[in-house]
Amino acid sequence: MLSVGIPAPSFSLPDQNGQMHALEDYRGKKVILYFYPKDNTAGCTKQACAFGELYPQFMEKGAVVLGVSKDSVASHKKFEEKYGLPFTLLSDPELAAIQAYDVWQEKNMYGKKTMGVVRTTYLIDEQGVIQRAFGKVKAAENPRQMLDCL
């Protein structure tokens, strides 16, 4: 996990509609950048839906929500449509941002070691500096936790 107080690594990734997004596009706004393992899984769905429910409150506080996983643009589109998600999902199959933000780590699932995305959320300020970093977050509680940080 990256340290608080450092500049957030730059990225340029496609969203669920194939449009490119760079971190620099959000200068002047707070960014909730959350990394999650996989679309349409129980924990990831709870987290995304909770961010969706609270999204108007994030907007009121001048913040945008960006979800990132290694799923494809098409997978993100289905996920967005199935749950009516109002925020941007970024596709990172090459692991560029995932590795830059140090969330690609060894995981232990039922005694089997694999590499994967560790659920992590960053709060990035208007100048692009990491203000808060939360690793191994609880999916259902993380959106409220982030709103409270604002």
**Contacts with 103 (C-beta within 8 Å, 6 or more apart), sequence order:** 1, 35, 117, 118, 120
Q: 109-149, pLDDT tens digit by residue?
A: 788 898 999 999 999 999 999 999 999 899 999 999 999 99
Q: Is the torsion defined by CA of 20, 135, 44, 105 positive or negative?
A: positive
Q: 61-106, pLDDT tens digit by residue?
A: 999 999 999 999 999 999 999 999 999 999 999 999 999 999 999 8
In the prediction, which pLDDT does 115 show? 93
Residue 44, pLDDT above cutoff 90: yes
Name residue, tokens 């259902």: 140
pTM: 0.95
Query: Which residues are designated catalytic?
Result: 44
* CA gap 64, 145 in Å, rounded: 15
* CA gap 148, 84 in Å, rounded: 23
